């Protein structure tokens, strides 16, 4: 189930249980109370709760709605406007985020949006360069993607020899503007491989934000210079696993209306292993990676 349909189901469930709760509270409950009061007046005795329930029972539907509505309402508010959990399904953000990481996303960071149509009703901010953000995939808006933003509206982004250069806030006319290279310093790597060959690990610095990336020396994808002018209201996103990431270099920019929120921390991290003897299609969690909890850059 995509997050859109889950949001739609959550809104619908909250609305229906809320309506039933309201009808029960303002219509059916007074009728039950009047019936109980009439019986007590006739008998001259006060009914205990069990007797009152037997005489004027609350319907199962109303009872369920009374219990479910406040829970659904709290979940709806938290998930739509404050924080929402997401699972990392691929390795495109290694080494920062691994498959099996569960992250918390701050929904109010990039504006408050109505949960079904995603219409923004309160602008609270926009991404800064170097932040990790969740957004709706422009090619398939029902799907959530997570990448790192390096190009802001009005930037010219240049990709050359597996390094990025930023001409800040000058597009489309950047003549005479000095580009700012996203500085890379190589780090030792003993954890990440592709086809049994080690990947090169670098620390990048952009706008005082530091994070690690991976470069595959065995892959020469996009080995020619490329440049993009980021339109107003759009952002340029890339994965930290640079040679194994489907990002803005391939499908273009992300409009601000597609922003979901800023990734803030890892709240759970599970290591998975494929069980060859199992008929289940999913990977099997083998351990909790406690050392990753709270991480994000």
What distance in Å separates the CA atoms of residue 203 and residue 185, rounded to the nearest whole number? Answer: 5
Burial class (CB in 10 A: 0-12, 13-18, 19+), 272: middle
**Of the listed ranges 119-123, 180-184, 271-275, 278-282, the one predicted with least confidence:** 278-282
Asked whether the predicted pLDDT for residue 276 surpasses 60, the reply is: no
Contact 262, 106 (CB under 8 A): yes
**Neighbour count for residue 58 (Cβ, 10 Å):** 13
> Given this model, what pLDDT does residue 223 score?
66
Asked whether the predicted pLDDT for residue 116 surpasses 90, the reply is: no
Query: Residue 92 — pLDDT band, cuts 50, 70, 90?
Result: very high
Asked whether the predicted pLDDT for residue 112 surpasses 80, the reply is: yes
> Given this model, what pLDDT does residue 1 score?
44
Query: Residue 275 — pLDDT band, cuts 50, 70, 90?
Result: low
What distance in Å separates the CA atoms of residue 9 and residue 17, rounded to the nearest whole number? Answer: 12
Mean pLDDT of 163-180: 90
In this structure, the chain runs to a length of 297
The model's pLDDT over 202-230, given as tens digits with 9 standing for 90+, comes to 999 988 899 999 999 888 767 678 999 99
- Looking at the chain, the whole-number percentage of residues with pLDDT higher than 90 is 59
> Given this model, what pLDDT does residue 278 score?
53
> Given this model, what pLDDT does residue 287 score?
85
Asked whether the predicted pLDDT for residue 281 surpasses 70, the reply is: no
Contact 115, 10 (CB under 8 A): yes
The residue annotated as part of the active site, out of 147, 162, 245, 248, is 147
- Cβ contacts of residue 243 below 8 Å, gap of 6+? 162, 214, 215, 216, 219, 221
In this structure, what token pair is assigned to residue 221? 């994808």
The model's pLDDT over 34-83, given as tens digits with 9 standing for 90+, comes to 988 888 888 888 888 888 888 889 999 999 999 999 999 999 999 999 99
Strand ranges (E), the chain = 83-87, 101-106, 112-113, 120-122, 132-136, 144-151, 156-160, 163-167, 180-181, 183-187, 193-194, 197-198, 200-206, 209-215, 226-229, 234-238, 254-255, 259-273, 284-288
Residue whose structure tokens are 């003897």: 277
Mean pLDDT of 113-123: 90
Q: Is 92 annotated as catalytic?
A: yes
What distance in Å separates the CA atoms of residue 18 and residue 29, rounded to the nearest whole number? Answer: 15
- Looking at the chain, the whole-number percentage of residues with pLDDT higher than 70 is 94
Query: Residue 31 — pLDDT band, cuts 50, 70, 90?
Result: very high
In this structure, what token pair is assigned to residue 179? 């580009």
> Given this model, what pLDDT does residue 56 score?
84
Query: Residue 134 — pLDDT band, cuts 50, 70, 90?
Result: very high
Mean residue pLDDT of the chain comes to 89
> Given this model, what pLDDT does residue 282 score?
56
Q: Is 169 annotated as catalytic?
A: no
> Given this model, what pLDDT does residue 274 score?
60
Among 43-52, 86-95, 177-186, the range of highest mean pLDDT: 86-95
The residue annotated as part of the active site, out of 92, 245, 248, 269, is 92
């Amino acid at each position: 189930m995509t997050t859109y349909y889950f949001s739609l189901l959550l809104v619908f469930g909250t609305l229906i249980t809320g309506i039933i709760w309201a009808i029960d509270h303002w219509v059916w409950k007074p009728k039950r109370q009047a019936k109980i009061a009439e019986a007590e007046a006739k008998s001259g005795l006060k009914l205990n709760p069990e007797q009152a329930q037997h005489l004027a029972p609350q319907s199962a539907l109303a009872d369920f709605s009374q219990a479910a509505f406040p829970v659904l309402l709290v979940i709806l508010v938290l998930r739509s406007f404050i924080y929402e959990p997401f699972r990392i399904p691929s390795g495109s953000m290694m080494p920062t985020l691994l498959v099996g990481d569960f992250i918390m996303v701050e929904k109010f960071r990039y504006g408050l949006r109505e949960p079904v149509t995603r219409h923004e009703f309160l602008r609270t901010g926009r991404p800064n360069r170097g932040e990790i953000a969740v957004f709706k995939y422009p090619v398939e808006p029902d799907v959530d993607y997570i990448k790192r933003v390096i190009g802001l509206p009005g930037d010219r982004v240049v990709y050359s020899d597996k390094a990025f250069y930023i001409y800040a806030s000058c597009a489309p006319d950047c003549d005479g503007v000095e580009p700012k290279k996203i500085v890379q310093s190589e780090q030792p790597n003993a954890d990440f491989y592709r086809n049994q060959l080690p990947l090169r690990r670098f620390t990048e610095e952009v706008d005082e934000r530091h994070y690690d990336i991976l470069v595959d020396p065995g892959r020469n994808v996009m080995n020619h210079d490329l440049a993009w002018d980021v339109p107003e209201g759009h952002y340029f996103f890339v994965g930290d696993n640079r040679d194994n990431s489907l990002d803005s270099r391939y499908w273009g920019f992300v409009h601000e209306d597609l922003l979901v929120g800023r990734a803030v921390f890892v709240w759970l991290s599970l290591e998975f292993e494929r069980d060859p003897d199992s008929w289940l299609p999913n990977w099997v969690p083998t351990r909790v990676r406690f050392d990753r909890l709270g991480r994000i850059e």
